[in-house]
Structure 1
Amino acid sequence: MAHDDVLEPDYLRNCIELLDQHPEIVIVHSRSQVIDEEGQQIGTYDDQLRLKSSSVCDRFRRILWAGYFSEFFGVMRASCIAKTHMHGNYAGSDRNFLAEMVLQGDVGYVEEYLFQRRDHGKCFCRSQTDKVSRLKWYDPNVKRASLVASTTGLLKWKLYLQAIFGYQISLSDQVGCLLALSEWAWHRGLETIKGTGEQFRSTVVNQYHKLDRQSTIEQPIVAAD
C-alpha cells in the first residue's frame, strides 16, 4: 500500500482470520474505497474484477485482464510470496507478481470496506503517465529507457510463461493458462499496433462481471462475524 492509504483497525485481523480458516486461499483483501487528499470518500472499487475462482487458469486469465486490482495490497501468505520473483523494477510488475500468487492458490475477500486508497494528482498512476517515466520511476538508473520500455510487454510475457511452468499445476491447467496467455499477447499486441487502446480488456471484464453476477454455485468467501 502507499504511504497515505488507510487501513481500518479491523483490516488485518479479519484478513488473517480468513486466511487461517481457508488454507486454499493465498491472498485476502477487503472491499476498497477511494479517498481524496483530505480523506473524503470519492468512490469505491466495487466494479473492479475480482480474482477469486476455483479454477487456476480462470484466476490467471482474470489477472491478465483486470483493470485495477487492489488485491496487490492484500494480506498474503509469506510462504507463497517467497516462491515468486517478487516485485520487479519495471512497470506492470505488480500484475506479474499477482499472477504467480494466483497460480498457487485462491483469493478471498472480506465483505467490509476496510481499505481506503488515496487518489490525488501526485500518485503514481496520475503523475507518471507514459511508459518511459514509469520505467524511470521503478529504475532511475535504467539505460536506453525508451528501448527498454518498448520491450516491457515481451518481458512480461516471458515471465508469465515461466510462471505457468514454474508451479505445480495440472497439465490441463497449464494448457488453459497458455491459451489465456496467447489470447492476452495477441490482443494486447494488436491493440498496441493499431493504437486502439484497451477495448478487449473492457470486453473481457464486462463478460466476467456478467458471469459473476449470474453465478449461483460459487459464492464469495466472507469473513465470519
Structure 2
Amino acid sequence: MESILAQDFRDLELIVSDNASTDRTGQIVAEFARRDERIRYVRSETNVGAAANYNRPVELARGAYFKWAADDDLIAPTYLSSCVAVLDADPGVVLAYGGTRLIDEAGDPIGDHRDGMHLPFPEPWRRMRAFAAHRWLCNPCFGVIRTDVLRDATTLIAPSDSSDVTFLAQVALAGRVHEVPDRLFFRRVTRDSRGLGEQSDGQAAQWFGSAAPRKSGVAPMARVFVDIERWILRSDLPLPDKARTVAAFTYAWLKRQAGITLWRWRRRLRGGRTRSFVDGIAQSKN
C-alpha cells in the first residue's frame, strides 16, 4: 500500500479487496484510510477464492485505467505515470507495463526478468505469434490496462491454474502491448509462490477457488492452448485475419512447448533434478 500511495501520479483510487482475511488486514487498511481518502475497502465474509477476489475490484473501479496489485509485490514511484503516459499518447495500446525485477522475502534483488510481452505490432497475428513465442511469468498482468478493454475484451481471471496466460492472450488480441523498459515492478518470490516456488497443483486450484477438479490427463497448458484458440475463433476479426492469427499462434505455441519438453527430457537424461526457483536462490547465496 505504501508503494502505491507513493506514486507520483496522484489521481488514483486504491481498492483493497479483503478475501475474508484472518489477520490484521482490516485494521491496517483502516489506519491508512484515515490518512488517505483515496482508499476504498471491501471485504468478503467467506473465502471466495483468489480469482473472484481479483475480479471484484474490476467491477468497482471508476477510473479509465486499471491496475491489479498483489499483496506482497512493490512498484517504483514512477510506475503509474510511466504507463499512463504511454496509454494517453497512443489509443492503440491497450496495456502498458514496467520491466520486472525479482526480489526475495526480505526485498533483496534476485535478478532482472525479461517478460517478453512488448507487442508493438498493429496486426493481431503478429502480436499473437510473438506472445506465444515469448510469454513467460505473466507479470504484465500487473500492468496498467484500459478499463473498458479489461471488462469488454477479456474474461478476467478464471478460477483455474494458468488462467493469467489466457487473460494476457486475450489482451494481446485486443490491441498493442507496450513495455516500459525501466525496472519498475518488483515481484516478490517466496516458497508459496506459484510456478517459481513450491506450490503444488492442488494448492493452486484451492487458492484460485476452483470447485471442479482438473480433468484427468489434461495438462493445464493444453487446456489454456485450446481456450485461446477458441477465443480467437470467436473474435470479430475478418475470416482471413482470423485464419492467419490461428495459424501463427498455433505454430509459435507448439514450437515453444516442444522446446520446453525437449529441455526437460535432456535434464532427466543427464540426471538433473527438478527444484524450486527459491531453492536455486538459496544455493546461489550460500
Aligned-residue RMSD, C-alpha = 2.7
2: CA distance, partners of 1:157 / 1:16? 31
Cα distance change, pair 197–90 in 1 and its aligned pair in 2 (3 A):
farther
* 1:60-100 deviation per Cα after TM superposition (whole angstroms, max 9, x unaligned): 12322322232111000111111211111111110111111
User: 2:41 maps to which residue?
Assistant: none
Larger radius of gyration: 2
Tell me the TM-score normalized by structure 2: 0.59
Counterpart Cα distance in 1 of 2:110 and 2:82: 24
The gaps in structure 1 that reach 5 residues or longer are: 200-225
Q: Please give the per-residue CA displacement for 1:37-70, whole angstroms capped at 9, x wherever unaligned.
A: 111112111x332331313112212322322232
Following the alignment from structure 1 to structure 2, what is the Cα–Cα distance between the partners of residues 155 and 115?
29
Is 2:181 the counterpart of 1:111? yes
Matches within 5 A, 1:142-221: 142=212, 145-147=213-215, 150=218, 152-183=220-251, 186=254, 196=262
* Residue equivalent to 1:52: 119
Q: Secondary structure at the match of 2:71?
A: coil
Instruction: Tell me whether 1:73 sits opposite 2:142 in the alignment.
Output: yes
Amino acid at match of 1:58: R
Which structure's relative contact order is higher, taking Cα pairs within 8 Å and 6+ residues apart? 1
Structure 2 residue identity aligned to 1:48: D
Question: Which aligned pairs between 1:74-113 and structure 2 lie closer than 5 A?
Answer: 74-83=143-152, 84-113=154-183
Q: Return the alpha-carbon distance in structure 1 between the equivalents of residues 253 and 182 of structure 2.
A: 35
Q: Distance in 1 between matches of 2:217 and 2:144?
A: 30
- In structure 2, runs of 5+ residues without a counterpart are 1-68, 266-286
Deviates more, 1:153-162 or 1:3-12: 153-162
- Equivalent pair of 1:34/1:43 in contact (CA under 8 Å): yes
Cα distance change of structure 1 residues 174 and 120 upon mapping to structure 2, 3 Å threshold: same
- Aligned partners of 1:188, 1:18: CA distance in 2, in Å? 30
| In structure 2, C-alpha distance between the alignment counterparts of 1:31 and 1:14, rounded to whole Å | 11
Equivalent residue, structure 2, for 1:13: 81
Once the two structures are aligned, what percentage of the paired residues are identical?
23
